[in-house]
Amino acid sequence: MGVAERKARGKKALRREILDAARQIFVTEGYEGVSMRRVAEKIEYSPTTIYLHFKDKSDLMFEICEETFAKLRRVLEAMQKEGGDPLTMLRRGLRAYVDFGLKHPQHYIATFIMPHQSSAPDEIARHKSPDSEGMKTFGFLRAAVQSAADRNHIRGDVDTVSRGLWAAIHGITSLLIVQPEFPWGDRNKVIDQTIDSMLAGLATRK
C-alpha cells in the first residue's frame, strides 16, 4: 500500500470516527449538545482537526443525515433489483424502511426523531435539493407509489399519497424504537398490519 493510499484510508477512518461521535452526542444530548469542540474532546483530537473535515456544525449534522439516507437508499436499490409487481414492491419497500430503522436506531433517531434547529435558508435548501440523499431516497417511495397508481392498484394524488405513507411508516418505526417496553406482542404482525391497513385504505375501489 502506497503512502497516498494510507493517507486516504486514515482520512476516511477519522471522518467515520467524527460522524459516529457527533451522532452519539446528538442522540444523547440533543442538537445544543453538539459542538465541534465537544466532538473533538470525545475522539481526543483538536477542534482544528474536525474543521479540516467539516465546515461547521450544520455541515456536520447534514452529513449525518446524508449518511443515513445513503444507507437506506442502498437497501431500497438492492430490493428494487429483485423485481415484482408494483404493489408488492411498494409493500416490501415500506417494510424495508421499518426494518432499516430498527436495525440502525441511532442513525434513525439522529436523522428522523431528534429536532434539528438550524433554520438558515441555505441549510433548508440543501436538505431539499434534488441531489441530496434525502430527496433521492424519498424518490424511491414516490416512484413505487407512481407505479402502483399506473397499474390502478391504488388511488389518490401520487405526491400526497407518498407523503402520507412516509408519515405513517415513520410513526410505527419511531414508536418501536423509542417505546421498546410497550407490550407490542408480535412486532412483526403489528408492522405488517400497519402496512396492510395503509395500502388497503388506498386500494382502488372495484
The full set of domain ranges for the chain reads 1-54, 59-202
**pLDDT attached to residue 33:** 87
Helices 133-150 + 86-103 axis angle, to 10: 150
- Under the banding of pLDDT at 50, 70 and 90, the label for residue 190 is very high
Could you tell me the pTM of the whole model? 0.83
Cell numbers 441511532 correspond to what residue? 106
Residues 6 or more apart whose Cβ sits within 8 Å of residue 21: 39, 42, 43
**pLDDT attached to residue 177:** 95
CATH superfamily of 59-202: Tetracycline Repressor, domain 2 (1.10.357.10)
Using the predicted structure, report yes or no on whether residue 119 has a pLDDT greater than 60: no
DSSP-assigned letter for residue 2: -
Question: Is residue 85 helix, strand or coil?
Answer: coil
**pLDDT attached to residue 117:** 62
What is the CATH T-level fold of the domain 1-54, as seen in this structure?
Arc Repressor Mutant, subunit A (1.10.10)
Using the predicted structure, report yes or no on whether residue 165 has a pLDDT greater than 90: yes
Measure Cα distances from 124 to 59, 64, 127, 157 in Å: 12, 15, 5, 25
CA distance 141 to 146: 9
- Under the banding of pLDDT at 50, 70 and 90, the label for residue 31 is confident
Type of residue at 43 = I
Instruction: Give the least confident one: 24-38, 61-75, 123-137, 173-187.
Output: 123-137
- Average pLDDT estimate for 73-89: 88
- Under the banding of pLDDT at 50, 70 and 90, the label for residue 61 is confident
